[in-house]
C-alpha cells in the first residue's frame, strides 16, 4: 500500500492555489492577457475561500453549489453596478441572505461567505464600457473553476492526508489534555485546584473542537459499504482517541481530598509522571501520523513507568498508613490511567478487520445538514433577534448598506476620484473584519489594519524598483499563496501578503498605482471603523449572551449522557453509536459553555459577578461529566452473575435513571419538584448503600460510590443554575 508522502499539511493545502495562480500568471506571460489578470485571480482566491475537505463526490457537489451561488451573486452586482440605489439594495440583500445561510452549518457558512466576497470582487474588477456585462462574472468563475480543478487533483493525489492531519491534531490536543489532568496530582499545587479545573475545562474545549473536525473528515470517507484500509485504520485511531478522552475525563475521587491524603506517598508522584509520559506519547504519535517515517512503538519509559505504578500500588496496599485512601479506590484510578498506556501500545499494531465493513457499531454520526429542506427548516427557527446568526445577518446587511451609501457619497463628491477600487475596499474590509462577537471583531480589526499598513510600506518599496512583468507575476503568485498559508492562523500576515498581491495585480494590468497606497490605508481604516461600530452598537453580543441558557444546556445534556451510559451498562459495553452521540453532545455543550466564559473573560468589565457564577457552573458541569465518564469507563467490567450483584443492579438502575431525569429536568423543575425528586434519590441511595456495604471492594460499592458523588453535586448545581447562593462547602464538592 502506498503511503501518503510526509509533506507538511500546510504545504499540501497550498498546492491548489499555487497551481491555479501560477497557471493564470503563465497565461498572462505567454498570451499577454494582462487585463484579465485581476478578475481571474480574484476568482482563484474566491475558490480557495470556499475549499472544504470532502470525498471526491462531495467536492463535486460543493463545486456545483458554489458555481451557482457565485454566478447569481456576481451577475446581480454587475448588472446593477451603474445604478447606486439598485446596487445598495443588491448588496444589502446578498449580505443578509447569505449570512443567514450560515446557520445551516459550516459548509453553507463557508460557501455563503465566499459568495459575498465574490460580489465585492466583481466591483473590484475593472471593466471597459465596450465589454459585455457577463465578462467579469465569467472570468471570476474561470478562476474559481481553475482553483477547484487544482484542488480535486491534489485530493486525488493525497486523498487521505486531511483526515490523517486531523487525527494528528486530535492526539496533539489529547496531549495537552493529559498534561492538564496531570496537574491535579501535583501535591505542591493543591491550593490551585479550582484554577486547575478551569484549565482542564478549557483544554477539553480544544479537544472537542479538533475531534469534530476529525469526525467530519472520517464521515466524508465512510459513505460506502466497503472502506479503504487506511480509512479503517484512521477510524480505529479515532475510536482509541475517544476512549482515551473518556478515561482522562473520568474521575472517581475528590482531587483535593485525594492529593491531601496521598501527598506523602510516592504513588501520587508516579501518577503525575505517568500522565506526563502519556502526554508525551500522544505528541509522539501525532508526529508519527504527520511523518510516518517508521512504525510507531510506545516509548519504553512509559512501559516501565506503568509497571512501576502497579508495583507501587501493591506495596501501598500492603503498608497502609493511617487514614489512607482505600486501596480499591486507588486501584480504580490507576486502572483508568494505565488503560491509557495499553491503548497507546495498541496503536502500534491496531486491528482494523472489523472496521473495513460498515456497521452500526462503527458508524460515524454527524449533525451536518444535508438537504435544502433541512436548511429551510433550520432557517425558519432562527428568525428572531434573540438568535446570534439572525443578529449577525442583519448587522452584515446594514454594514453593506452603509458602505454602499458611503461609497456613492464619495463618488458624488469626487473625494475618491483617484481610488482604483472606487471605494469598494471599504466594503471588502468591513465584510472580512466583521465577526459575530465584539472581541473577535476587535482582534481581526487590529490585525487587518496592521497587515495593510505593513503591506503598503513594503509595496511602496517594491514600486520603486521598476519590476519587470516576470517579477510582478512571481510576487503576485507568491503573495496569494502566502495569503492562504496564513489565512487561518495569522490574519495580519495574510492581509500583508494580499495587499502586496493587490498592488502587483494592478501593476500587471497597466494601471497607475501611485495613489494605491494612501487609498488602501484610508479605505481599510474606514471599513474597519464601520465594522467595529456595527458590532459595538448594533445588538452587542454581551447583551445577548445567555449564560444561564448555555449552562442549562450543558447540565441537562449530562442527563442524556448518563442515560446512554446506563444503557451500555445494562446491555454490555458495545460503544454503540447512540452512546457516542450522547457523550459527544455532553462534551460539545460543555465546550460551548467554556467558549462563552472565555469570551466573557475578555470583556470582564461588562459582565461583573456573572463571570464568577459562570465559572462555578463550569466547574460543577465538568465534575458531573467526570463522574459520569467514570461510570462509562467501568461499563466493560460489569458482572451480573452473582446473586448479590443481581440484587444490587436491580435497585441501582432505577436510582441512576432518577439522577438522569433530575439532570435532564433541572432547568425546568421548580424548587418543590426538584426537592421531591432529590429526597427520593437520597432514599434510594441509602438503600443501595446498605445492600452494597458487605465488601468494600465489590462492584456494588464502586457503582454506589459513583452515584453518590454525582448526587452530591445536584443541590449546588440546582442553586447555581437558578441563581441561588451556593454554600462554600458545596462549592468545594465540585473540585
Owning domain of residue 502: 9-157+384-542
Same domain, 428 and 489: yes
Same domain, 405 and 520: yes
The grid coordinates listed for 540 are: 452587542
Task: Please indicate, yes or no, if residue 371 is contained in any of the structural domains.
Answer: no
Same domain, 416 and 517: yes
pLDDT at 360: 55
**Residue 40 CB: number of other CB atoms within 10 A?**
26
What residues have CB less than 8 Å from 520, skipping those under 6 apart? 421, 425, 452, 455, 456, 499, 502
Exposed / middle / buried, residue 695 (Cβ in 10 Å: 0-12, 13-18, 19+): exposed
Q: Which of 542, 572, 603 is the last residue of a domain?
A: 542
Q: Which of 312, 340, 355 is the last residue of a domain?
A: 355
What residues have CB less than 8 Å from 613, skipping those under 6 apart? 547, 720, 723
Give the CA distances from residue 353 to residues 282, 350, 499, 719, in Å, rounded to whole numbers and listed in that order. 24, 9, 52, 50
Q: Is 415 helix (H, G, I), strand (E, B) or coil?
A: coil
Q: Which of 492, 514, 542 is the last residue of a domain?
A: 542
**Residue 690 CB: number of other CB atoms within 10 A?**
9
- 512-517: long-range contacts (C-beta < 8 A, 24 or more apart)? 513/420, 513/463, 515/418, 515/419, 515/420, 516/420, 516/456, 516/459, 517/456, 517/459, 517/460
Same domain, 728 and 579: yes
Beta bridge partners of 226: 357
pLDDT at 107: 84
Taken in order 182, 344, 226, 353, the sign of the CA dihedral is: negative
Taken in order 592, 598, 604, 610, the sign of the CA dihedral is: positive
Per residue in 249-283, pLDDT (tens digit) is 988 888 888 888 888 888 889 999 999 999 999 99
Give the CA distances from residue 333 to residues 196, 231, 501, in Å, rounded to whole numbers and listed in that order. 18, 33, 57
Same domain, 143 and 288: no
The answer to whether the CB of 617 falls within 8 A of the CB of 699 is no
Mark the ranges of the chain whose per-residue pLDDT is less than 50. 1-2, 4, 225, 692-697, 728-735
Same domain, 464 and 399: yes
Task: Please indicate, yes or no, if residue 374 is contained in any of the structural domains.
Answer: no
The grid coordinates listed for 296 are: 510507531
pLDDT at 471: 94
Residue 71 has, within 13 A of its CA and on its CB side, a CA count of 9
**Closest CA relative to residue 11, chosen from 192, 187, 158, 191:** 158
The answer to whether the CB of 559 falls within 8 A of the CB of 625 is no
What CATH number corresponds to the domain at position 599?
A: 1.20.120
Helix axes 266-291, 255-262, angle to 10 degrees: 120
**Closest CA relative to residue 545, chosen from 608, 623, 625, 616:** 608
SS (H, E, C) 678-735: HHHHHHHHHHHHHHCCCCCCCHHHHHHHHHHHHHHCHHHHHHHHCCCCCCHHHHHCCC
Exposed / middle / buried, residue 185 (Cβ in 10 Å: 0-12, 13-18, 19+): buried
Same domain, 506 and 566: no
pLDDT at 322: 74
Task: Please indicate, yes or no, if residue 363 is contained in any of the structural domains.
Answer: no
The answer to whether the CB of 547 falls within 8 A of the CB of 610 is yes
pLDDT at 416: 62
Task: Please indicate, yes or no, if residue 666 is contained in any of the structural domains.
Answer: yes
Task: Please indicate, yes or no, if residue 377 is contained in any of the structural domains.
Answer: no
Same domain, 293 and 193: yes
Ranges of H-type helices in 250-326: 255-262, 266-291, 300-318
Task: Please indicate, yes or no, if residue 375 is contained in any of the structural domains.
Answer: no
pLDDT at 254: 83
The answer to whether the CB of 70 falls within 8 A of the CB of 122 is no
Task: Please indicate, yes or no, if residue 483 is contained in any of the structural domains.
Answer: yes
Same domain, 108 and 52: yes
Calculate ∠ Cα 500-489-122, nearest 5°: 45
The grid coordinates listed for 277 are: 509520559
Same domain, 411 and 438: yes
Cα–Cα distance measured from residue 235 to residue 628, given in angstroms and rounded to the nearest whole number: 25
Same domain, 190 and 71: no
Same domain, 120 and 178: no
What CATH number corresponds to the domain at position 225?
A: 1.20.58
Task: Please indicate, yes or no, if residue 364 is contained in any of the structural domains.
Answer: no
Q: How many domains does the chain have?
A: 3
pTM of the model as a whole: 0.84
Amino acid at each position: 500500500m502506498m503511503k501518503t508522502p510526509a509533506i507538511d499539511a500546510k504545504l499540501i493545502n497550498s498546492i491548489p492555489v499555487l497551481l491555479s495562480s501560477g497557471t493564470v500568471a503563465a497565461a498572462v506571460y505567454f498570451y499577454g492577457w494582462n487585463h484579465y489578470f485581476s478578475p481571474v485571480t480574484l476568482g482563484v482566491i474566491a475558490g480557495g475561500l470556499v475549499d472544504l475537505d470532502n470525498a471526491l463526490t462531495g467536492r463535486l457537489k460543493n463545486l456545483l453549489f458554489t458555481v451557482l451561488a457565485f454566478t447569481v451573486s456576481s451577475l446581480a452586482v454587475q448588472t446593477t453596478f451603474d445604478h447606486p440605489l439598485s446596487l445598495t439594495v443588491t448588496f444589502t440583500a446578498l449580505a443578509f441572505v447569505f449570512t443567514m445561510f450560515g446557520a445551516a452549518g459550516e459548509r453553507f457558512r463557508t460557501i455563503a461567505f465566499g459568495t459575498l466576497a465574490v460580489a465585492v470582487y466583481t466591483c473590484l474588477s475593472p471593466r471597459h464600457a465596450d465589454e459585455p456585462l457577463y465578462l467579469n462574472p465569467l472570468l471570476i468563475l474561470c478562476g474559481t473553476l481553475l482553483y477547484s480543478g487544482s484542488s480535486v487533483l491534489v485530493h486525488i493525489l493525497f486523498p487521505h492526508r486531511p483526515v490523517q492531519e486531523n487525527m494528528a491534531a486530535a492526539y496533539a490536543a489529547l496531549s495537552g489534555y493529559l498534561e492538564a489532568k496531570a496537574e491535579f496530582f501535583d501535591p505542591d499545587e493543591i491550593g490551585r485546584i479550582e484554577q486547575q479545573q478551569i484549565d482542564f475545562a478549557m483544554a477539553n474545549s480544544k479537544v472537542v473542537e479538533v475531534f469534530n473536525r476529525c469526525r467530519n473528515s472520517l464521515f466524508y470517507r465512510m459513505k460506502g459499504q466497503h472502506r479503504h484500509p487506511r480509512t479503517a485504520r484512521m477510524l480505529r485511531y479515532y475510536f482509541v482517541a475517544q476512549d482515551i478522552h473518556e478515561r482522562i475525563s473520568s474521575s472517581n475521587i475528590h482531587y483535593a481530598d485525594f492529593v491531601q491524603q496521598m501527598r506523602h506517598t510516592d504513588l501520587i508522584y508516579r501518577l503525575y509522571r505517568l500522565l506526563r509520559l502519556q502526554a508525551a506519547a500522544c505528541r509522539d504519535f501525532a508526529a508519527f501520523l504527520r511523518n510516518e517515517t517508521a512504525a510507531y512503538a510506545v516509548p519504553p519509559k512509559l512501559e516501565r513507568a506503568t509497571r512501576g505504578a502497579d508495583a507501587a500500588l501493591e506495596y501501598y496496599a500492603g503498608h497502609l498508613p493511617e487514614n489512607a485512601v482505600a486501596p480499591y479506590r486507588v486501584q480504580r484510578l490507576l486502572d483508568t490511567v494505565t488503560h491509557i498506556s495499553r491503548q497507546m501500545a495498541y496503536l502500534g499494531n491496531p486491528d482494523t478487520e472489523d472496521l473495513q465493513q460498515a456497521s452500526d457499531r462503527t458508524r460515524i454520526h454527524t449533525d451536518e445538514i444535508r438537504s435544502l429542506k433541512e436548511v429551510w427548516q433550520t432557517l425558519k427557527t432562527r428568525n428572531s433577534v434573540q438568535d446570534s446568526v439572525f443578529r449577525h445577518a442583519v448587522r452584515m446587511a446594514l454594514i453593506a448598506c452603509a458602505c454602499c451609501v458611503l461609497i456613492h457619497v464619495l463618488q458624488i463628491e469626487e473625494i475618491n476620484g483617484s481610488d482604483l477600487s472606487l471605494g469598494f475596499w471599504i466594503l471588502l474590509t468591513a465584510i472580512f473584519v466583521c465577526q459575530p462577537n465584539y472581541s473577535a471583531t476587535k482582534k481581526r480589526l487590529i490585525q487587518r489594519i496592521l497587515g495593510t499598513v505593513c503591506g503598503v510600506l513594503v509595496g511602496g518599496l517594491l514600486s520603486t524598483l521598476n519590476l519587470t512583468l516576470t517579477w510582478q507575476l512571481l510576487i503576485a503568485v507568491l503573495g496569494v499563496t502566502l495569503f492562504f498559508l496564513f489565512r487561518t492562523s495569522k490574519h495580519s500576515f495574510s492581509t500583508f501578503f494580499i495587499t502586496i498581491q493587490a498592488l502587483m495585480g494592478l501593476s500587471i494590468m497597466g494601471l497607475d498605482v501611485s495613489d494605491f497606497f494612501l487609498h488602501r490605508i484610508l479605505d481599510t481604516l474606514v471599513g474597519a471603523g464601520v465594522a467595529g461600530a456595527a458590532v459595538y452598537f448594533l445588538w452587542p453580543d454581551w447583551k445577548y449572551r445567555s449564560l444561564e441558557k448555555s449552562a442549562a444546556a450543558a447540565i441537562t445534556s449530562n442527563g442524556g449522557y448518563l442515560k446512554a451510559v446506563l444503557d451500555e451498562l445494562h446491555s454490555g459495553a458495545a460503544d454503540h453509536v447512540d452512546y457516542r452521540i450522547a457523550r459527544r453532545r455532553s462534551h460539545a455543550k460543555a465546550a460551548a459553555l467554556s467558549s462563552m466564559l472565555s469570551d466573557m473573560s475578555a470583556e470582564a468589565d461588562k459582565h461583573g459577578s456573572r463571570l464568577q457564577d459562570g465559572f462555578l457552573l463550569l466547574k460543577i458541569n465538568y465534575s458531573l461529566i467526570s463522574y459520569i465518564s467514570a461510570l462509562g469507563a467501568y461499563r466493560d467490567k460489569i458482572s451480573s452473575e452473582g446473586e448479590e450483584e443481581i440484587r444490587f443492579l436491580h435497585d441501582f438502575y432505577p436510582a441512576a435513571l432518577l439522577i438522569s431525569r433530575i439532570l435532564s429536568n433541572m432547568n425546568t423543575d421548580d424548587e418543590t419538584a426538584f426537592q421531591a425528586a432529590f429526597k427520593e434519590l437520597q432514599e434510594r441511595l441509602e438503600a443501595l448503600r446498605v445492600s452494597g456495604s458487605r465488601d468494600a471492594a465489590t462492584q456494588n460499592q464502586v457503582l454506589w460510590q459513583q452515584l453518590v458523588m454525582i448526587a452530591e453535586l445536584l443541590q449546588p448545581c440546582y442553586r447555581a443554575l437558578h441563581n441561588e447562593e451556593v454554600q462554600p462547602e458545596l462549592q468545594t464538592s465540585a473540585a
